[in-house]
Chain A
């Protein structure tokens, strides 16, 4: 159980500091409640319209593709970093083939998307 005490400390420090600074900025900071200050911040230009807009449904394909290749990167980077140590232990070939299999499956997915016309935007 003692091993978890540092984690508990970090969590409590995080909570205390967050609360502290929120309260401090509230108490000490100047407050000018003009209409301009109370609107939502939108890149500095005056905001207009509502956020409840209809989105084009095709965006979901873009989101899915992004997720796919994002995850691929997440997996590829640690593999590339630790690849040298696998080579030194004589497991380089195995790890290379394993990544090729993973990569091949992703490419299959991409080919399927392309042939099915999911990459076209008309």
Chain B
């Protein structure tokens, strides 16, 4: 470790320091509530965000284990934004007067560190390290409500299945190392180009196992079974953090692997991803139609969105055209924002004693809380991909790239899926506006969560009306990897 290494990963170090600082604050400064912990976390995340935004330094740190480039800078910003909003949602949710669940704060910080390491990793071992840092924190976060049997189930299920998928991932990495002779992604790419692994069984098994491991984390069908149960049982802010952060981090790692490590063989595994994309979005959307529980509906919608994002990866491989690659990053950022918004709604109407997730429970929300309902409408329209929201542009960028790359059928299937999805997203809006409210529903909403929802809704509308700056940011983000083709 040298100083130049340390300065290259400054955002990661600041978030790590923040996690340590929160732990120490909690240990030495006993106070009621969670305000002081939130403050410490926010300060360190803000410093990290400043470092991430201002970083023009690029290079690889720790002997090629991590890369500091515009790609990692983009994702660092994404994760910090996700973490900040998660803290806003969770700080009062977990602030019970008797026994506040203070573990929430350091765990969110450390999970964010893991995500940032995943996005910066250029070595398979580092990817695994980041993935485990993120996952182990999340196993605990999912089971944070010790009194709730559902939360315990979610944590346990996530732990067992997550460990199982990690084993697949690690085995795949070992086989890839065995066949290419390196765990360093650029070195692997050179080895692949030199030898040609068209028929190397070891290599293809390795790539297959790797895809299973990553597919689990991004909730790709048929490795999606854990998603609804874990989202349903986890506390609402944690579920939002999972849906937004884990997906972005796992896609970031996947993009590094396919763009930096395996571009030479793109045309060989592209068909496989086409099938996975179609199955994932269709299954996600069709099952989401039948859900009456908002959390499970959002879980299946998360699966469907993983399918759309896979379309983006298909469109960028093997010839990475700029718009498609830009589209994935844009989509991931927007997806994180709108999903956090949707989970903020659940946070808002829930308490630690019981989560209010039944769709019918949202009936008539608009009559009591018009501003909140307007925000939720923005989130749902954005998730459905209707202009003038940001979700529309995410879909335009990705699907347009798929058409341009010759995957017209895939794009048509994706569009049909979007049409199906509109039904279950808009159902929430219809329920809010067209039904009579239940008695004594939604009294005393938390102002902090409400403020976060307003900020998210405004951001989504702003990006929807003026997608240029965000698209430019995403373009800069992928430009770092364009050289590796």
Contact for A97 among B1, B20, B28, CB less than 8 A: B1
Which residue of chain A has the shortest Cβ distance to B16 in the bound complex?
A: A105
Assess the B27–A101 pair: CB atoms within 8 A: no
- In Å, the complex CA distance between A101 and B24 comes to 16
Interface size class of B (residues with CB under 8 A): under 10
Q: Mark A88-113, 1 if CB is under 8 A from B, else 0.
A: 00000010011001000100100110
CB of B23 within 8 Å of the partner chain: yes
Beyond the given A105-B20, A108-B23, A115-B28, could you list 6 further A-B residue pairs with CB under 8 A, ordered by the A residue number? A98-B1, A101-B1, A108-B20, A112-B23, A112-B24, A116-B27
Q: Are A108 and B24 in contact (CB under 8 A)?
A: yes
Question: How many residues on chain A are close to B (CB under 8 Å)?
Answer: 10
Q: How far is the CB of B154 from chain A (nearest CB, A)?
A: 21
In the complex, chain B residues whose CB is within 8 Å of the CB of A101: 1
**Chain A 63-101 interface 0/1 with B at a Cβ cutoff of 8 Å (1 = within):** 000000000000000000000000000000010011001
Q: Which of chain A's residues have a CB closer than 8 A to the CB of B20? A: 105, 108
- Whether the Cβ atoms of A111 and B1 lie closer than 8 Å is no
Which B residue's beta carbon lies closest to that of A93?
A: B2
Q: Across the interface, do A111 and B2 meet the contact criterion of CB distance under 8 Å?
A: no
Is there an interface contact between B27 and A112, defined as CB atoms closer than 8 Å? Answer: yes
Q: How far is the CB of A7 from chain B (nearest CB, A)?
A: 14
Return chain A residues, CB-CB under 8 Å to B23.
108, 112
Please report the number of residue pairs spanning A and B whose Cβ atoms sit closer than 8 angstroms.
18
Complex-state Cα separation, A97 to B6, whole angstroms: 12
Q: In the bound complex, how far is the Cα of B201 from the Cα of A122, in angstroms?
A: 58
Q: Which partner residue on chain B sits nearest A91 by CB separation? A: B2
Q: Which residues of B are found within 8 Å of A111, using beta-carbon distances?
A: 24, 27
Distance between Cα atoms of A23 and B20 in the complex (Å): 57
Distance between Cα atoms of A82 and B392 in the complex (Å) = 57
Nearest CB of A to B136, in Å: 13
B28 partner residues in chain A, CB cutoff 8 A? 115
Listed A/B pairs (18) with beta-carbon separation below 8 Å: A94-B1, A94-B2, A97-B1, A98-B1, A101-B1, A105-B20, A108-B20, A108-B23, A108-B24, A111-B24, A111-B27, A112-B23, A112-B24, A112-B26, A112-B27, A115-B27, A115-B28, A116-B27
> Contact mask B410-439 → A, CB, 8 Å, 1/0?
000000000000000000000000000000
Q: In residues 21-71 of chain B, which contact A (Cβ within 8 Å)?
A: 23-24, 26-28
Contact flags B1-27 to A (C-beta < 8 A → 1, else 0): 110000000000000000010011011
CA distance A98 to B2 in the complex (A): 9
- Could you tell me the distance between the alpha carbons of A101 and B2 in the complex, rounded to whole angstroms? 12
B235 CB to nearest chain A CB (Å): 21
* Closest B residue by C-beta to A108: B20
Which B residues lie within 8 Å of A97 (CB)? 1
- Return chain A residues, CB-CB under 8 Å to B24: 108, 111-112
Max chain A Cβ within 10 angstroms of own Cβ: one of B24, B27, B28: B27
Which residues in A have their C-beta under 8 angstroms from that of B26?
A: 112
Closest A residue by C-beta to B20 = A108
Q: How far is the CA of A105 from the CA of B1 in the complex (A)?
A: 16
